[in-house]
Chains A and B, each alone.
Chain A
Amino acid sequence: MLFNSLPFALLAAPTVVLGMVLRGRPRTWILLLASWAFYAGGQPKWLLLLWFSTILDYLIGRALDTTPDEQAGKRKLLLAASVIGNLGILFAYKYLPFVLSLVGLGGFVPAAYEGGFHFLGGVPAGLSFYTFQTLSYTIDVYRRKQSAIRNPVEFALFVAFFPQLIAGPVVRAAEFFPQLYNPKPTTEARLWRAIELFAVGLFKKVVVADNLGLLGDPLWSSPDTQSGPTLVIGALIFWGQIYADFSAYSTMARGLGTAFGFDLPRNFNFPLLADGPLAYRRSWHMTMSAWFRDYVFHPLGGSRVSAWRVAINIGIVWTLFGIWHGAGLTFLVWGLYNGVVQAGTREFYRRGYRIPDYPGKRVAGIALNLALMLPSAIVFRSASLQDALTAIWAVLTLRGGGAVDSLTLGIVAVFAAMHVASYRWYREDVLERSPWVVRLVLLTGLIWVVVFLGAKSRPFVYFQF
């Protein structure tokens, strides 16, 4: 179910009201039922998988909690069962067809679903998000950083909480349950903030992301016929689109969370204005980056091992991050490339190199970072590795051809200026701080813009991951 759809509005509006009025168990039940209804609004059959993951990790969490540390073998087995169970589902639905085709057994893949993304009837929406979220829970219980949740309804809500179920932010149990037990009161100020976050997210989705998609899609429908500079613009448009799309979902999720008394974590902090790869990593998909840091990078030794091992660890993390997006060589290469860039940048600073200050250093840093991210964006957007290489070659050789029309450039410039302006001045509390008249005018204007300048509704890009 899309946030930008009528069925969602019909579901969310009464849920928000009931969420404000009710307390305790009834509130938990209402949120859980609404979450399941929200998920079933996509494809009801995937609810079974969500329930399976919920039951698996609830039972394993309880068992881990009650098993003493002396029985280390049993605890490890329980943890392994959770890891295999969750990652096994992920593997079966997202990666098995790809792996089979790589080893020459593609014939076993039903022809209708050939291509990697569709197996066993497609990929359940948000699968990668909620499996990673529940996995973090069992790992935390295993590490004794989190007590097992006794109430199955509360645990089911943790897994299925609809504001962030499909595309994050990935919430840890330690963040979620205290807020479930002691939700912040829905004051007028918080309600205005919730409305603002949701409306701004909606604007980012339907006005910015979807319109950028319409501008960029024609450029990418036949990259082999585009000029090098056009592909550069196309890659920037795409990166802007995917940022706006993904961060829109996170912003709307935070808005909904605020209405229910939760403060969900930020997932983005203006990554397109990062002045270097390290800052970029820290500001893009922050909750998932933190997941990989805590559950993959640190167990591998983190930064406490030799420089070479650290570089390899970074490479492993980014490769996994790449294929987390889905089965495909483009995602694999995307991860590897980012790993090399991150490891190389880290090594640069580790060796004590510093770029001296000079006027415009920050702008130059942003430009350099965008240039470094450009191949990454091209690979991510391309339908195949061959398409990506063709496009990158066209960029490197400045292949000639048609130019991007000035209207497209103008629209991109307007969106870029809005992004910079919001970085400088916007603090997500405009409605909260404003007098009533200003609130009404701003909200009416925003609704108008969303309805009349929004592109036709299309799914969130990250739903497929």
Chain B
Amino acid sequence: MAQVRVIAAVFACLVVALVLPNLALRRMPSLWTWLQTADDGSDLAVLGALRSTDPADVDIVVLGSSLAVVDVSAVMIKRETGLSVLNAGVLAMPPIASSMYLDDALSLHPSTVIVVTGHRAFGDSELPSASPFDWRIAASAFPVSAWMRSDVLSAALADVSDAYRLRDVPRLAWDGSLAEWKGRASNLHRAEDDRFAVLAARPEWSAASTPTVVDGAASRAVGALIDRCTAEGVSVLLVAAPVHSELLGTPDVWFHPPHVAEMRRVAEKHGASVLVLDQPGLWRDSDFRDPLHLAPSGQRRFTQAVAAELR
């Protein structure tokens, strides 16, 4: 009996430690706004972008996966255009998962919704309407086997729990060079620390092994998203995010042609604008922090182009 009491006490402590701070942080949007004022493209700014901006006065809502979170700087757009931007990208989710925010986003009455899409197929073509803070979203987005992986769990929790996400702040504050750092093999660092080793670890990411065309269901979902926005009087800008040419397997090609073609087709059919920054020589290796996401220099160029389009 005594043992049961102890185990129950430990469980209670876990709940109190993990849930209460989260509830408190949910009431502190200013914290996230402050984080977003860190250097453009830094991890701190990315963290802030997740939850920042007072939703009471939003001109632009950015939807998308981590590509939206990492590649687009809301602060920079505000600086360049004077428009107030809510970056509502969702980490560790397929791009279409951002549509989970659609109801929330439209309730803010923005003038424009920007949808950032990557080269990968939209894994989830549904248009769920629940709140992004709902556990059901995380549960439906990740199969049971994925929960056994601590990195996936971290990502899922990070999206659901502001408190859990905040745990990264001290680490990121202390490790200012994280974004630029390239791993090297040594006693403690092995080769897999290298940012491109992720390609070996995640073969499904490579263009060769993944059907990266936007399939019919996903196209319809994006089309429905555009229609829904248009019906509310909100214009839509579809933006293609560049990926490292090494991922696509062709030198100096930073966009997956089938993805871009399908995106243009859907945009034309449903009346949305499209932005594809595929001018030759525009992107360099150093513009990427990993095969999918932009480093500060790349984020700057990408965001400036988006801002110019908005103007």
Chain A contact residues, CB within 8 Å of chain B: 2, 5-7, 10, 17, 20, 115, 117, 186-188, 191-192, 195, 211, 213-215, 217-218, 220-221, 328, 330, 380-383, 407-408, 411, 436, 439-440, 443-445, 447-448, 451-457, 461, 464
Contacts and interface: CB of A to CB of B under 8 A. Distances in A.
B6 interface: yes
B127 interface: no
Nearest to A214: B175
Interface in B137-188: 147-148, 150, 153-154, 163-164, 166-168, 170-171, 173-175, 177, 181, 184-188
B167 A452 contact: yes
Given A191-B6, A451-B18, A461-B188, 19 more contacts: A6-B153, A187-B2, A217-B189, A218-B177, A221-B181, A330-B187, A383-B184, A407-B174, A411-B174, A440-B13, A443-B9, A443-B13, A444-B16, A447-B18, A451-B17, A453-B170, A454-B167, A455-B171, A457-B150
A328 B187 CA distance: 10
A451 B171 contact: no
Of the candidates A117, A217, A461, the one having the most CB atoms from chain B within 10 angstroms of its own CB is A217
Given A186-B3, A447-B14, A380 B187 contact: yes
12 contacts: A7-B148, A7-B150, A115-B185, A188-B6, A195-B10, A214-B171, A217-B188, A218-B175, A407-B174, A444-B16, A448-B21, A452-B167
A440 B12 contact: yes
B198 to A, nearest CB: 15
B7 interface: yes
B5 interface: yes
B21 A452 contact: yes
B6 A192 contact: yes
B148 A20 contact: no
Nearest to B18: A451
B164 to A, nearest CB: 7
B5 A188 contact: yes
Contacts of B148: 6-7, 10
Nearest to A213: B188
A377 B186 CA distance: 14
A10 B144 CA distance: 13
A405 to B, nearest CB: 9
A444 B18 CA distance: 9
B187 A6 contact: no
Contacts of B181: 218, 221
B156 to A, nearest CB: 11
Contact of A188 (B2, B166, B188): B2
Contacts of B188: 213, 217, 381, 461
Nearest to A6: B150
Given A186-B3, A383-B186, A456 B171 contact: yes
A-side binding surface: helix, strand, loop or mixed? helix
A125 to B, nearest CB: 13
Interface in B90-148: 147-148
Nearest to B161: A451
A397 B184 CA distance: 27
Contacts of A20: 3
Nearest to A331: B187
Nearest to B7: A17
Nearest to A112: B191
A137 B14 CA distance: 40
Contacts of A5: 150
Contacts of B175: 214-215, 218
A2 B148 CA distance: 12
A381 B18 contact: no
Nearest to A238: B188
Of the candidates B170, B188, B189, the one having the most CB atoms from chain A within 10 angstroms of its own CB is B188
List 5 A-B pairs, minimum CB-CB distance, nearest first. Answer: A383-B186, A447-B17, A188-B2, A443-B13, A452-B167
Contacts of B186: 220, 382-383
Nearest to A5: B150
Contacts of A444: 13, 16-17
B164 A451 contact: yes
A453 B173 CA distance: 12
A464 B190 CA distance: 11
A445 B188 CA distance: 31
A91 B171 CA distance: 38
Contacts of A215: 174-175
Contacts of B189: 217, 221
Contacts of A445: 17
A220 B13 CA distance: 38
Given A215-B174, A451-B17, A452-B21, A383 B187 contact: yes
A464 B177 CA distance: 26
A454 B171 CA distance: 8
B1 to A, nearest CB: 9
Given A188-B2, A448-B17, A440 B171 contact: no
A213 B186 CA distance: 13
B305 to A, nearest CB: 32
A29 B37 CA distance: 56
Contact of B6 (A195, A411, A454, A457): A195
Contacts of A455: 171
A211 B171 contact: yes
A191 B189 CA distance: 37
